[in-house]
């Protein structure tokens, strides 16, 4: 059934592209796992500025990034997409390793730090988020706010904290990063400790944030955009950046990549250039997602420090991508035992 739906969607997209080519209309096809409410206005602005029609395919919240990654792999020999805009680097690194991407070094990326660019030019990072604790201030006194990941193991929080499913989205990126940074034994010990301490597992970061906002749990680990969404909605919650006196928190840039064999490579490069521009980074910073720019020319979001002022983990993206695939069987077993 799923294979049939995938085949149908590919055929429909191919018909759309054929019709566009026949009409002479300039078009670019982008798959994006960045929330539609944030990515769509950026893509519409690109259309207005360039006259290039954008055909966007968005991912679902629960399978964030994973669904589109699988689709791109399935389409590898007959690509229908031009550009992949990922909400984290892990997915584009996986696609690079699968041979789905083509190198492109955008001139718009000259001011982006080299640490956030693939050495071979297969992807480039831009505006990103950090992992934060969202705390319900009506349930937790300020002096008791959790300050680091190890606090999630404290018995006083038993059954009162939440995390999103680590098989998907940025939580999978975070967990795989911990396996690389800590080693398998310590990372497994940490996850088993979370299970024994009554971790509540949610379908997504957004669901974790809603649980905290409504008092179902006292705090949860989410991305800063999920935290700001609840703050802006007026819920009694506050954000804490964890491990600022220790190793630091995880920073997760967006990443953009050109698809190998893209049907529209020239318009694809124009879109990539636009996504990497200070204009786009400032637009994402000003939205409720409060994404943090990588380009020093772009201003940080209100209520957030510059990235240089935040202690962040050092991440080997290639190693993390390989580790993510390796630990999937363990994570499935771990989830089954919650």
| pLDDT band (50, 70, 90) for residue 172 | very high
Output the six-digit token pair for 114. 């080299």
The answer as to whether 209 is a domain residue is yes
Q: Contact 173/251 with Cβ under 8 angstroms? A: no
**Same domain flag for 179 and 263:** no
- Domain count within the chain: 2
- Tell me, yes or no, whether 175 and 202 share the same domain: yes
Q: Is residue 90 part of a domain?
A: yes
163: tokens are 């995390």
Domain around 207: 129-250+324-336
Distances (CA, A) of 238 to 60, 143, 216, 303: 26, 13, 15, 12
Say how far apart CA 153 and CA 171 lie, in whole Å.
17
Within a domain: 165: yes
Domain membership of residue 315 (yes or no) is no
The answer to whether 65 and 59 have CB atoms below 8 angstroms apart is: yes
Whether 51 and 143 share a structural domain: no
Residue 317 lies in a domain: no
239 and 282 fall within a common domain:
no
| pLDDT tens-place string over residues 128-157 | 999 999 999 999 999 999 999 999 999 999
How far is Cα 323 from Cα 317, in angstroms, rounded to an integer?
Answer: 10
Same domain, 266 and 207: no
Residue 313 placed within a domain: no
Q: Which of 23-37, 119-133, 231-245, 251-265 has the lowest mean pLDDT?
A: 23-37
Q: Are residues 216 and 332 in the same domain?
A: yes
Same domain, 29 and 81: yes
State residue 303's pLDDT score: 82
Q: State how far the Cα of 23 lies from the Cα of 174, in Å rounded to an integer.
A: 45
Specify whether 226 is located in the same domain as 273: no
Asked whether the predicted pLDDT for residue 4 surpasses 90, the reply is no
- 97 located within any domain: yes
The string of pLDDT tens digits covering residues 151-162 is 999 999 999 999
Q: Domain check: are 139 and 106 in the same one?
A: no
CATH of the domain at 29: 3.40.190.10
pLDDT at 15 over 80: no
Same structural domain for residues 133 and 109? no
Is 178 within a domain? yes
Could you please report the per-residue DSSP string of 277-336? SHHHHHHHHHSTT-PBPSSTTSPPPTTS--GGGS-B----HHHHHHHHHHHHHHHHHHHH
- Write down the pTM of the prediction: 0.82
């Amino acid at each position: 059934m799923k294979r049939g739906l995938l085949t149908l969607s590919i055929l429909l997209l191919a018909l759309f592209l054929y019709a566009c080519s026949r009409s002479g209309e300039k078009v670019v096809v982008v798959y994006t796992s960045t929330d539609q409410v944030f990515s769509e206005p950026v893509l519409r602005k690109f259309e207005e500025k360039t006259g290039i029609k954008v055909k966007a395919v968005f991912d679902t919240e629960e399978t964030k990034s994973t669904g589109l990654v699988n689709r791109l792999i399935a389409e590898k020999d007959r690509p229908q997409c031009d550009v992949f805009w990922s909400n984290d680097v892990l997915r584009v690194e996986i696609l690079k390793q699968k041979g789905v991407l083509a190198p492109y070094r955008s001139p718009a990326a000259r001011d982006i730090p080299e640490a956030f660019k693939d050495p071979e030019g297969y992807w480039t990072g831009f505006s990103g988020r950090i992992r934060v604790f969202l705390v319900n201030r009506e349930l937790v006194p300020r002096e008791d706010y959790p300050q680091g990941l190890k606090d999630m193991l404290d018995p006083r929080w038993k059954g009162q904290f939440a995390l999103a499913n680590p098989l998907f989205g940025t939580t999978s990126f975070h967990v795989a990063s911990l396996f690389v940074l800590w080693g398998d034994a310590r990372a497994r010990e940490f996850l088993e400790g979370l299970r024994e301490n009554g971790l509540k597992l949610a379908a997504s970061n957004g669901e974790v944030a809603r649980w905290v906002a409504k008092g179902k749990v006292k705090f949860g680990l989410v991305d800063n955009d999920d935290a700001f969404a609840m703050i802006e909605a007026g819920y009694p919650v506050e954000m804490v950046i964890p491990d600022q006196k220790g190793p630091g928190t995880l920073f997760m840039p967006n990443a953009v990549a050109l698809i190998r064999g893209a049907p529209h490579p020239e318009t694809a490069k124009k879109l990539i250039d636009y996504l990497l521009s200070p204009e786009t980074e400032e637009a994402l910073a000003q939205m409720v997602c409060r994404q943090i720019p990588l380009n020093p020319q772009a201003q940080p979001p209100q209520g957030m420090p510059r990235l240089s002022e935040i202690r962040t983990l050092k991440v080997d993206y290639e190693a993390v991508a390989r580790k993510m695939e390796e630990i999937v069987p363990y994570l499935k077993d771990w989830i089954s035992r919650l």
